[in-house]
Chains A and B, each alone.
Chain A
Amino acid sequence: RKEVEQDPGPFNVPEGATVAFNCTYSNSASQSFFWYRQDCRKEPKLLMSVYSSGNEDGRFTAQLNRASQYISLLIRDSKLSDSATYLCVVTHSGYSTLTFGKGTMLLVSP
């Protein structure tokens, strides 16, 4: 089983739609969780950290389920500018490194 798994997509949605991505992780000692966004041929940028109680930032909501070892990202009222690849990122307790999933591609159409 891969350490961090994501559905590669693409998810094709119309503007205004709500879309959700899941990410599963295999290491139960995983400590910190993030969602990064990567535009085509660009560097990844932090979208949001994922807190244990879940957190919201505008149209974006992140949830963590430690029992089932997955995190989710919900995007409401999708915009054309949300089209990108969303990367799930995990760190482990005592480790200095970040482990990336392969990403989920989102395409928002007019």
Chain B
Amino acid sequence: NAGVTQTPKFRILKIGQSMTLQCAQDMNHNYMYWYRQDPGMGLKLIYYSVGAGITDKGEVPNGYNVSRSTTEDFPLRLELAAPSQTSVYFCASRTGQGLTEAFFGQGTRLTVV
């Protein structure tokens, strides 16, 4: 049982390039999330999904896009990368609302130069 798997673990992008951060979970969780964490800061929600085909914006969605075509996968797309998107990106999943634990992937460390 792998849990939440994120790829890649590290990436350096040039300004204006695009990339997709992959996230997959094998726990059959309905809810999935993308957060970013800047140094010394808390986690900020980018996008989330409550099930296949359903996505919604979080606190900081600008510059990102997501899709949820299957329960397992929730990729995050960066279009036209900017230095402000340099951050650590975490994907998470949980079964639903209430006192249900969120499981996190190991993170993707992205640097935009």
| A positions within 8 Å CB-CB of B | 4, 8, 31-32, 34, 41-46, 49, 51, 87, 89, 91, 94-103
Contact = CB atoms under 8 A, between A and B. Distances in A.
A91 B97 contact: yes
Interface string B34-69: 010000111101001010000000100000000000
A103 B42 contact: yes
B48 A97 contact: yes
Given A32-B99, A103-B42, 12 more contacts: A31-B98, A32-B98, A34-B101, A43-B106, A44-B43, A46-B101, A49-B101, A51-B99, A87-B43, A96-B31, A96-B50, A97-B33
Contact of B48 (A42, A43, A96, A102): A96
Contacts of B50: 96
Contacts of B48: 96-97
A46 B107 contact: no
Given A43-B107, A44-B90, A97 B58 contact: yes
Contacts, number: 56
Interface of B: 31, 33, 35, 40-43, 45, 48, 50, 58, 88, 90, 92, 94, 97-99, 101-102, 104-107
A101 B42 contact: yes
B99 A49 contact: yes
12 contacts: A4-B42, A32-B98, A43-B105, A44-B43, A46-B101, A96-B48, A96-B97, A97-B45, A98-B92, A98-B94, A100-B35, A100-B43
A45 B43 contact: no
Contact of A102 (B41, B90, B98, B106): B41
A94 B40 CA distance: 30
10 closest A-B pairs by CB: A102-B42, A43-B104, A100-B43, A46-B101, A49-B99, A100-B42, A96-B50, A32-B99, A43-B106, A44-B104
B70 to A, nearest CB: 18
Contacts of B101: 34, 46, 49
B42 A32 contact: no
A48 to B, nearest CB: 10
